Amino acid sequence: MTALRITQGAAATRLLGVGSHQPERVVTNDDLSKIMDTTDEWIRERVGIRERRFAAKDELLVDMAVIAGSKALADAGLAPSDVDTVILANCTMPTPIPNGAAQVADRIGVKAAGAFDLNAACAGFCYALNTASDLVRAGSARRVLVIGAEKLTDWVEPTDRANAIIFADGAGAAVVGPAETPGIGPVVWGSAGDLVDMIYMRDDRWIYQEGQSVFRWATTQIAPIALRALEVAGLQPSDVDVLIPHQANLRIVEAIAKRLRAKGAREDMVVADDIVHSGNTSSASIPMAMDHMRAAGRVKPGDVALLIGFGAGLSYAGQAVICP
């Protein structure tokens, strides 16, 4: 039998750069209270959001992805030709065909890129990050641009007081490439398809969530997965400098942080609270939070960050990374 030659990739990978983009239009809680039965106080108490960004009608998911992706490349000091693969995590493209990744790659200037969309909803970025890392380690890709971008406002009923206050638009991106020492830890990922009815599109159109059930799942089941992600990377909870959970709801973020601290995470561990000014941007929230926190000086290069995404599917994925 003829044996095939196979590729040999990098021994390890790391994040080379990050970037993000938000639409211009800021929407406050008071703005929302004019079109639905809600108040600033109610929203801040339930989900911790003060304001979020909504994309204009003509600003598309791929437009936001292009800007975030270009910024991540610039941050890494790389040209588009240094990347050969683009993964676009998202769950809110306007139509299923065509995918977004090929257009994004072309517009950024990555010629003939391997390009595909990845849908693991709010866990999408962590799924895509691991996929990118494995592609580089296997030799299928040299460097990968990983983007999470969403236009959730296309899929939320504008006066739905349960969801329109939470979801928003934006994009975040990271470049993954080879490294001498590992900067992206092994993923812990999984799904619970039996709980699919907790988050879905009602009448095939609008996002619907079983709020209490999602809250219970996220506040009890996600911290143990985050702890396992540390364990497989050979880390202790006390090693974590920055915790970046998917920005679903500030109370979920705080509940996860509390459970990690009960297991030894430090009191001075920085906890991402980007949702306060960005809302829930699904697959974009983790890279966007990392980028914003770094710009604010709350995250430094070399910090150990614990990423954990979770959402519809249900699906979840987490890994430890070294911040670029």
Partner 1 sequence: MADKPSDEKILEGLAEIVEEVAGVSPDDVTPEKSFVDDLDIDSLSMVEIAVQAEDKFGVKIPDDELANLKTVGDAVKYVSAHV
Applying CB under 8 A, does 211 fall inside the site for partner 1?
yes
Q: How many CA atoms lie within 13 A of 180 on its CB side?
A: 0
List 95, 96, 212, 297, residue binding partner 1 (CB under 8 A): 212
Applying CB under 8 A, does 210 fall inside the site for partner 1?
yes
Scanning 57-65, 204-212, 240-248, 305-313 for contacts with partner 1 by CB under 8 A, the matching segment is 204-212
Scanning 59-67, 145-153, 214-222, 228-236 for contacts with partner 1 by CB under 8 A, the matching segment is 214-222
246 is a catalytic site residue = yes
List 215, 239, 276, 277, residue binding partner 1 (CB under 8 A): 215
Shortest approach of partner 1 to residue 26 CB, angstroms?
Answer: 26
The count of chain residues that interact with partner 1, using the rule CB under 8 A, is 12
Region of 28 (left: φ > 0; alpha: ψ -120 to 50; beta: rest) is: beta
Shortest approach of partner 1 to residue 198 CB, angstroms?
Answer: 10
Q: Catalytic residue among 29, 91, 119, 122, which?
A: 122
Scanning 91-99, 112-120, 216-224, 233-241 for contacts with partner 1 by CB under 8 A, the matching segment is 216-224
Say how many C-beta atoms besides its own lie within 10 A of residue 4's C-beta: 5
Give the full edge-to-edge strand order of the sheet including 169-179.
12-21, 169-179, 144-151, 85-89, 114-118
The CA distance from 73 to 116, in Å, is 18
The CA distance from 316 to 136, in Å, is 22
Structure-block tokens of residue 76: 């890494």
Q: Catalytic residue among 119, 126, 246, 249, which?
A: 246
Query: Which residues does residue 86 pair with via DSSP β-bridges, in sequence order?
Result: 115, 145
Going by C-alpha positions, the residue among 316, 267, 323, 317 that lies closest to residue 300 is 323
Region 244-283 residues binding partner 1, contact defined as CB under 8 A: 251, 255
Shortest approach of partner 1 to residue 211 CB, angstroms?
Answer: 7
Shortest approach of partner 1 to residue 204 CB, angstroms?
Answer: 25
Applying CB under 8 A, does 48 fall inside the site for partner 1?
no
Residues 6+ apart with CB under 8 A from 28: 40, 50, 51
CA distances for 137 relative to 121, 179, 203, 213, angstroms: 25, 10, 42, 38
91 is a catalytic site residue = no
Applying CB under 8 A, does 194 fall inside the site for partner 1?
no
Shortest approach of partner 1 to residue 311 CB, angstroms?
Answer: 17
Region of 59 (left: φ > 0; alpha: ψ -120 to 50; beta: rest) is: beta
Using CB under 8 A as the criterion, which residues of the chain lie in contact with partner 1 when the complex forms? 45-46, 210-213, 215-216, 219-220, 251, 255
- Indicate which residues carry an active-site annotation: 122, 246, 280
